[in-house]
Amino acid sequence: EQFRSTAFANALAHREIGAWVFDEAHCLSKWGHDFRPDYLYVSRFIKARQKDKPSPIFCFTATAKPDVVEDIRNHFTKRLGVSLEVLAGGVRRDNLAYEVRAVNPQAKYPEVLRLLQEALREEGGAIVFCARQKTVEELAAFLKEAGLECGYFHGGMLPTEKRSVQEAFLTGELR
C-alpha cells in the first residue's frame, strides 16, 4: 500500500529489483474480497521503474476465486505485457481444521473456552478468528480471566505489539 508514497518510491529507486512479490494478491483485483484501491498503482509503479521487461512478478493468494485470478492476470497482461502462470495448490490444508457450530450469542465465549480447554490439554496452540477488533480484545480478556494464557492480534495494533504477541505465540508462551 506504499506504491503512491514518495519516500517508498525514492527508497526503491536506489535498489535493484530482483522480483516483485505480492502476498494476499486478491487485494489487487477489484473483484477481490479485500480490494485496496492503492493496489491499482502496482503496475504503473513497476512500469515507471523498469522501462524494459520487468523483473519476475509473483502473486500469492489462498482465497481468490477464478474470476479474481483472471482479473489479476489480465491486469498484468494489459498493463505490463506480462503473462502470469497459475499454479493452483487447492484449498485443502491437512494442518488446519475448520468446523461450524451453531451457538446462541450468550453461550459463544463459554463455548470457545470449552473447545480451547479440550483442544489444548497437553500441547499445541490455537488461533481464534473474530470479525471485529473489539471482539478480539473482548474474547481475549474473557479467556485470560478464565485462566488461559492468551493474547490478541489485529490490524489496529502497533507493529511492536504485533511482533511481541506473535513471538510469544511461536515460542509457546501464549498458546
pLDDT digits (tens, 9 = 90+) for 37-46: 777 788 888 8
pLDDT > 70? residue 11: yes
Please tell me the distance from the alpha carbon of residue 175 to that of residue 27, in angstroms, as a whole number: 30
Residue range 25-30: average pLDDT? 83
Set of cell numbers at residue 82: 506480462
Comparing 140 with 97, which gets the higher pLDDT? 140
Least confident of 7-21, 100-114, 134-148: 7-21
81: left (phi over 0), alpha (psi -120 to 50) or beta: left
Q: How confident is the model at residue 150 (pLDDT cuts 50, 70, 90)?
A: very high
Residue 61: Cβ within 10 Å count: 19
Question: Contacts from 166-171 at CB under 8 Å and sequence distance 24+?
Answer: 169/125
- Is the pLDDT at 12 greater than 80, yes or no? yes
Instruction: Tell me which residue of 174, 128, 122, 167 sits closest to 148, measured CA to CA.
Output: 174
Checking if the pLDDT of 1 tops 70, the result is no
**36-40, 60-64, 144-148: least confident range:** 36-40
3-state secondary structure the chain: CCCCCHHHHHHHHCCCCCCEEECCHHHHCCCCCCCCHHHHHHHHHHHHHCCCCCCCEEECCCCCCHHHHHHHHHHHHHHHCCCCCCCCCCCCCCCCCCCCCCCCHHHHHHHHHHHHHHHCCCCCCCCCCCCCHHHHHHHHHHHHHCCCCCCCCCCCCCHHHHHHHHHHHHHCCCC
Average pLDDT taken over every residue of the chain:
87
pTM of the predicted model, to two decimals? 0.56
